[in-house]
Amino acid sequence: MKTSDFDYHLPPELIAQDAVEPRDHSRLMVLHRRDGVIEHRRFFEITDYLRAGDVLVLNDSRVIPARLRGRKVEGGGSVEVLLLHRLSAGLWEALVRPGKRLRDGSLVEIRGASGSVMAEVKETREDGIRVLRFSDESPLPLLGEVPLPPYIRRPLARPERYQTVYACHDGSAAAPTAGLHFTPELLGRVAAMGVRCLFVTLHVGLDTFRPVREEDPSRHQIHREYAVLTPQVAAELAQAKDEGRRIICVGTTSVRVVEQAARASLSGRPEPFEGWVNLFILPGYRFRLVDALVTNYHLPRSTLLMLVSAFAGGELVLRAYREAIERGYRFYSLGDAMLIL
């Protein structure tokens, strides 16, 4: 297995630059693993593939205004900060650009229309991550802006469009994008069918922005992300599995939470936890809980595409991607969706 096995060519015009309205009118490819059949629908028609007793697992993390702009105090120069994870009061893990100019002890003045705060580089960690100490973190939500992926070249007219309608726990540097297609009305229809919607939390972090550079993907060090799976959700997932009901994860983030919860248990039943997720799913992985997956179209050579390939099979996934390209599907964060059954 090589990282190049997960490569494909995408015409740049298929990278979605804005979101479909209404949310649930994006296109939906339905991919059947058993026989390789592909169907083409609209997302609101996902209810045709759900049934009473199914469990839908969604990630309720909310994107924070994690992109901050400022200047280096000593010597000047513009600095951009991307907050990744809050360690404690005023202490954050972050990506900083340009990183080479910011050594331990460097001071950065973060500026915005509502004022400014000071940040000190306290520590440099692996992969260029810095630990920053802010003089006052309370103004950060007003000083920052919601970060968009680099392939989205213009700001959104409505920043809330980069949040799921059920997002409620602040902490992500990027949206769990498979959930962007759901509207409150569609979720209501899903619940009325007898489908149980359960919520986990995983704060999306650095790996969303990082390609796999190792040609042997098993050598790639996946960045850990903070997650919460409550006792109630763990119990309901275990009951659904015992009763043979399908567990359908919305997004690769939800997959990683429930699969890590199952791997942590000797019985293979999901256990509640709050802590770091560092599960890297590659082809050959044995899924313990997930029966179906709702996902967007992912970047070439990415850990997300590797996870989807592990679930559905690399050849089938790349065939589906080729068909999506031929039919003009919209790719990446604001693009169309795929349901893998």
Q: Are the C-beta atoms of residues 206 and 51 closer than 8 Å to each other? A: no
Higher pLDDT, 107 or 103: 107
Q: What is the mean pLDDT of residues 211-224?
A: 87
pLDDT of 99 reads 74
Q: State which CATH number among 3.40.1780.10, 2.60.210.10, 3.40.50.1360, 3.50.50.60 fits the domain covering 3-63+155-340.
A: 3.40.1780.10
Percentage of the chain lying above the pLDDT 70 cut: 99
Q: Which of 95-99, 170-174, 285-289, 312-316 has the lowest mean pLDDT?
A: 95-99
CATH level 3 topology of 67-143: Thrombin, subunit H (2.40.10)
Model confidence over 294-338: pLDDT tens digits?
A: 999 999 999 999 999 999 999 999 999 999 999 999 999 999 999
d(C-alpha 225, C-alpha 28), whole Å: 28
Q: What is the mean pLDDT of residues 220-238?
A: 93
The dihedral sign for the CA sequence 283, 288, 291, 294: negative
pLDDT of 191 reads 97
pLDDT of 129 reads 85
pLDDT of 57 reads 98
Q: What is the mean pLDDT of residues 260-271?
A: 84
- Residue 113, pLDDT > 80, answer no
Is the pTM value of this prediction over 0.85? yes
Model confidence over 153-202: pLDDT tens digits?
A: 888 888 899 999 999 999 998 999 999 999 999 999 999 999 999 999 99
Two structure tokens written together for 224:
């850990």
pLDDT of 149 reads 86
- Residue 100, pLDDT > 80, answer no
What are the CA-CA distances from residue 189 to residues 45, 72, 184 (Å)? 11, 52, 9
pLDDT of 70 reads 92
pLDDT of 147 reads 86
Q: What is the mean pLDDT of residues 111-123?
A: 88
Rg (CA), the chain: 20
User: Where do the structural domains in the chain lie, given as residue ranges?
Assistant: 3-63+155-340, 67-143
Confidence of residue 240 (pLDDT cuts 50, 70, 90): very high
Q: What is the DSSP string of 216-279?
A: SGGG--PPPEEEEE-HHHHHHHHHHHHTT--EEEESHHHHHHHHHHHHTSTTS----EEEEE--
